[in-house]
Homo-oligomer: A and B are copies of this chain.
């Protein structure tokens, strides 16, 4: 791909169009937008722009299309696969200043927001209405970033991923047109589902400038449960059994023994063993109690050596805080190292096979790997610390072997981190000829290829 470099003349022209207070070419600003939270190589944009409304976004895209300048949308940089790293330089389009709640439709369990608001900040505002937006990737990712990457997280097993919780969007196309997709009706069958085409397209088809999200009532009753097992296999078989029981768990997370040891350094007191963390949300105390009894029964039958349920909010918060901050904890345990984070997902029946294969592969390559995952969805993350390029190459190799296994098991190369840079190489293996169709769609929406180039598609496609 070949693009026009942003010469001082072009920078001046664009700055004149958008306003100097919304543009920067300082090294500091460019460095702040050169890297996400993952392990991919940083790349500086040539310019950072902070638009304040959809018209300004349209103006940038139209100008960039005309001038063949790449535009990479940016939420807050919590992505892990380099999804928002501007690998071809050009314009970094930060949606940070478009962070307003436009309207809360409390009676409809909906909220209309701008893309730059963090989901945690949104939920803090919604709590007074007794409502929340359930997808939770851990970090305070922006809604725009979550939709663009179809982020998911620990509550997806009950409430779905980002894609399942959006009804309507405003999107700016590469040529500067501003369109609306979907409606605020929860049921809609009026033509092509453009909403779902943009969701998960990682900013390569358009820029989301507004979204109406589905909300759910804050559950009246919640309980967290923790179960420990002697073997990984017993833990994983329990996941399949709990899912099979029909209990509507709100979270069903797996941690391997190394992870539990690490988390205990943050204040939790988890037996060092393969562990399941579970959460149940219920409208009635009776339901909650009955579900807990059933889950404990299943865990004991599968050989749990420890089971504890708690409805105490503080204890629940400590548990989930530890789980959510596992990545930071891991970094502290491997000072000076980087962490390669894998993300694959398979049908739940294939989960034990995938986990066993991953453990063997890691052992065979003689490296350290920490496994944790949204097990209820068949989604596993493996964290592989590495110190140098040789270590990186080893991690990449292990990653590739496990990704291809997940695809062979009927799964996907990415359950929730998106394709970005890291998974592009596996798109052909997963999608076959459908990848050509995706590429045709890309060319239709972005004929000059300016939107987030270098992502999703492998170089050959």
Contacts and interface: CB of A to CB of B under 8 A. Distances in A.
Given A179-B434, A283-B248, A412 B349 contact: no
B246 A283 contact: yes
B347 A190 contact: no
Interface in A99-132: 105, 107-110
Contact of A201 (B192, B291, B411, B427): B192
Copies in the complex: 2
B189 A417 contact: yes
Interface in A260-291: 282-284, 286-287, 290-291
A441 interface: yes
Contacts of A2: none
A139 interface: no
B197 A192 contact: yes
Nearest to A433: B179
Contacts of A427: 190-191
Interface string A414-440: 111111000100110011111101101
A7 interface: no
Interface in A207-255: 216-217, 219-220, 240, 243-244, 246-248
B186 A378 contact: yes
Contacts of A189: 149-152, 161, 200, 412, 414-419
Given A197-B197, A200-B192, A247-B283, A187 B348 contact: no
A42 B151 CA distance: 46
A456 interface: yes
Q: Which of A287, A378, A437, A456: most chain B CB closer than 10 A?
A: A437
Contacts of A164: 164
Nearest to A247: B283
24 contacts: A107-B244, A107-B349, A108-B349, A149-B189, A151-B189, A179-B432, A179-B434, A181-B431, A181-B434, A185-B347, A186-B345, A186-B348, A187-B374, A187-B378, A187-B412, A188-B345, A191-B427, A191-B456, A192-B442, A193-B197, A193-B199, A194-B437, A284-B286, A284-B290
Contacts of A216: 246
A65 interface: no
Contacts of A180: 431-432, 434
